[in-house]
């Protein structure tokens, strides 16, 4: 039986921190599904689900056991439906812990058949988040150290404040 893991997140947009977690998860499981999910607690996303999918596809090109999907529902239901054995999340700092712990417990209550697995982020990605990337890019700052090189221009063109009408 294939050992499938789901790597859920907003990915708005994908960062080097996300890519690191996806890459490491792909070495631990037979298949990793990067699941673009809705975080009901966050304000309106900057990128549409289709845009986020395009960026993740580009950033994970060549990773044979990584697939991308979009979820408009409960993560626990998705995990159950595809028979995944794990939910993989990246942990940056202590500040992530309480929220992630809460989600892991809630998901376990909703579906007991999968485990949440936390991978500690690389130290250089400790401070990195999609919202930091968006703020820097909006004001024309350099985000080349924060996002995969192959999607750098796409993200810049889309986020810089003078260029709000950019389309893929």
Please confirm, yes or no, whether 46 is among the known catalytic residues: no
| 39 near ligand PNS, judged by CB under 6 A | yes
> Tokens standing for 18?
């996300």
Task: Give me the least distance between CB of 97 and ligand PNS, in Å please.
Answer: 13
Interaction residues for ligand PNS, span 64-103 (CB under 6 A): 74-76, 103
Q: What string of DSSP letters covers 3-68?
A: -EEEEEE--TT--HHHHHHHHHHHHHSSEEEEEE---TTS---SS-HHHHHHHHHHHTTT-TTEEE
Among 9, 17, 49, 90, binds ligand PNS (CB under 6 A): 9
Check residue 38 for interaction with ligand PNS (CB under 6 A): yes
Taking residues 100 to 139 in sequence order and writing x for each that binds ligand PNS by CB under 6 A, - otherwise, the string is: ---x--xx--------------------------------
Distance in angstroms (rounded) separating the CA atoms of residues 74 and 42: 15
Residue 74: beta bridge partners? Answer: none
């Amino acid at each position: 039986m294939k050992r499938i893991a789901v790597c859920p997140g907003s990915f708005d947009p994908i960062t080097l921190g996300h890519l690191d977690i996806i890459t490491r998860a792909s070495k631990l499981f037979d298949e990793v599904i990067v699941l673009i999910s809705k975080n009901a607690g966050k304000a309106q996303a900057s990128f549409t689900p289709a845009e986020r999918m395009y960026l993740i596809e580009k950033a994970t090109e060549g990773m044979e056991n990584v697939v991308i999907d979009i979820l408009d529902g409960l993560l626990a239901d998705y995990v159950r439906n595809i028979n995944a054995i794990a939910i993989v999340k990246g942990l940056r700092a202590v500040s992530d812990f309480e929220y992630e712990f809460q989600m892991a417990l809630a998901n376990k209550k909703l579906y007991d058949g999968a485990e949440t697995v936390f991978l500690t982020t690389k130290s250089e990605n400790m401070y990195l988040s999609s919202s930091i990337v968006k703020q820097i890019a909006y004001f024309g700052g350099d985000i080349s150290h924060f996002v995969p090189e192959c999607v750098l221009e796409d993200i810049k063109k889309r986020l810089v404040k003078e260029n709000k009408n950019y389309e893929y």
